[in-house]
Amino acid sequence: MKPLWPLCLALAAAPVLAAPQDAQMTRLAQDSGCALCHAARPEPRGVDSLLPSAPAWSDIAARYRGQKGVADKLVAEVINGIGPENRHWEYKTDLALMPENRVTISKKDATALIRWILRQDAPAPR
């Protein structure tokens, strides 16, 4: 029988390894200006609520996770921005466009951030 300890070690380390990445990616989103418009989770909504400025990371993950080639598409949109002609969240966000972010984030960092965003858990249904 193969020794089980490498597996046990990997399972024990998984949450510990995920936490620093969460902190690192949250920091990257803040430093790159993304957090000015995007939140990690949608705010609880009431009848008088305004629309959120931009889709929350967990909403983006819920919509696109598992779609083929979607990370590349999202990275390109982050770098180049989204205009009125290629919106995806009409009536769901207050802001109608995303400015290009090529000045604030590199393609490499945007790729790491998008991969992390796509792994965000969707909030539990209310």
> Applying CB under 6 A, which residues contact ligand HEC?
32-34, 36-38, 54-55, 60, 74, 77-78, 82, 87-90, 93, 95, 98-99, 101, 104-105, 110, 113
Q: Closest separation between CB of residue 18 and ligand HEC, Å?
A: 19
CB closer to ligand HEC out of 65 and 87:
87
Residue in 40, 39, 9, 25 with CA at minimum distance from that of residue 112: 25
Cα-Cα-Cα-Cα torsion 60, 64, 65, 70, nearest 10 degrees, comes to -120
Minimum CB distance to ligand HEC smaller for 48 or for 90: 90
Say how many CA atoms lie within 13 Å of 27 toward its Cβ: 6
**Residue 54 CB contacts under 8 Å (≥ 6 apart), including other chains:** 37, 38, 89, 93, 95, 98
Shortest Å distance, C-beta 14 to ligand HEC = 25
Instruction: Please state the closest distance from residue 126 (CB atom) to ligand HEC, in A.
Output: 22
